[in-house]
Structure 1
Amino acid sequence: MAEQGEKKENPMKELRIRKLCLNICVGESGDRLTRAAKVLEQLTGQTPVFSKARYTVRSFGIRRNEKIAVHCTVRGAKAEEILEKGLKVREYELRKNNFSDTGNFGFGIQEHIDLGIKYDPSIGIYGLDFYVVLGRPGFSIADKKRKRGRIGFKHRIRKEEAMRWFQQKVSAECFCNMGVQKPEHLMWPILSFAG
């Protein structure tokens, strides 16, 4: 029989990665955009989707409905693997502003070759945006077509919970696996994220 002082975690409250969205915005259609699509295809092994401009912006030379960006959505173990590479480039550090009020977080990297992709002179170097959507078991009821439900207030993910999950799972996991003592600058309490 379990001890009375020991409180079990509710498995329905467990946070997990629902999806990882990768985005490269080139700002123009043509050859540069197709090369950016090749970068995402090499990284994910999936066919990326092209995004169109919503408005015409003359100062940037962008026309409405012109393809200007490419993105890809990754789920499961592959999402965790790619996120691990991206966080390694960022040295496992995120600011408080990287987290949204709904418990998701995002960050960007300057060069895609930092992720371990071999440099190809014909492709060039592209920056990359990562956006991680967190979820709990039962979140799919809000996405259903028939008999759609709403996620209860207590079941929603808040910013502080996402930050705590990031500290416990991602940063602690990365340094424990390598057998290295966690550096002092990564031992922040929950409220001391760089603002």
Structure 2
Amino acid sequence: MREIRVDKLVINCCVGESGDKLTRAARVLEQLTGQKPVYSKARYTVRTFGIRRNEKISCHVTIRGELAQEILDRGLKVKEYELLRKNFSETGNFGFGIQEHIDLGIKYDPSTGIYGMDFFVVLKRPGARVALRKMQQSRVGAPHRLTKDDAINWFQTKFEGIVLDAPRL
């Protein structure tokens, strides 16, 4: 009842501009996951970056189930199963980024280009639904909540990963 599992994996690809570059990044995400990505808009105008409010600047896709485990494993293989301690949040989630999507096993296409992306992993224990459901909603007790140390231990046992205190030079 206390085993930890992956609730969802969110892959975000922020291009910083709308147009053809963003649609190519969305095509890369679709090749990777087989799902149609959702576009995200800029919250406010930043003149130095050349973006306007409500302009589509990134795309993301949420993956659950076995496919999430498979893609997470491919992403961690790129990072050589090494993460920093600061990659883990206090609520037991973690994230990391990769520089080039071709490292994930996608064939390089010169017309598409190369895009980096961020992986965000949300972990949960069975019974977490009681805090989210509409009827008879209640809180998850403190012993059942996920902590940073729980997530780190899960990562080290599940993937035989290494957690570093500082980045390697």
TM-score (norm 2): 0.95
The answer to whether structure 1 residue 156 and structure 2 residue 127 are counterparts is: no
The within-5 A match list for 1:1-195 is 12-171=1-160, 186=162, 193-195=164-166
Deviations 1:87-129 (A, max 9, x none): 0000000010000000000000000000000001111000010
CA distance in 2, matches of 1:129, 1:63: 23
Structure 1 letter corresponding to 2:117: L
Whose helix proportion is higher, 1 or 2?
Answer: 1
Q: Structure 2, unaligned stretches of length 5 or more?
A: none
- AA of the residue aligned to 1:94: L
Distance in 1 (alpha carbons) for counterparts of 2:36 and 2:95: 22
Unaligned runs of at least 5 residues, structure 1: 1-11, 173-185, 187-191
Structure number, greater radius of gyration: 1
TM-score under structure 1 length normalisation: 0.83
Partner of 1:4: none
Higher strand proportion, which one?
A: 2
Q: Deviations over 1:110-150 (max 9, x none)?
A: 00000000001111000010000000001112221333221
Note the aligned Cα RMSD (angstroms). 1.1
Deviates further, 25-34 or 145-154: 145-154
Using the TM superposition, give the Cα deviation of residue 152 of structure 1 relative to its aligned residue in structure 2, in angstroms: 1.1
Between 1 and 2, higher relative CO (CA 8 Å, sep ≥ 6) is seen in 2
Instruction: Give the whole-Å Cα distance in 2 for the aligned partners of 1:193 and 1:157.
Output: 20
Number of equivalent positions: 166
Measured in 1, the distance between the counterparts of 2:80 and 2:150 equals: 21
Give 1:106's aligned amino acid. Answer: G
> SS in structure 2 opposite 1:13?
coil
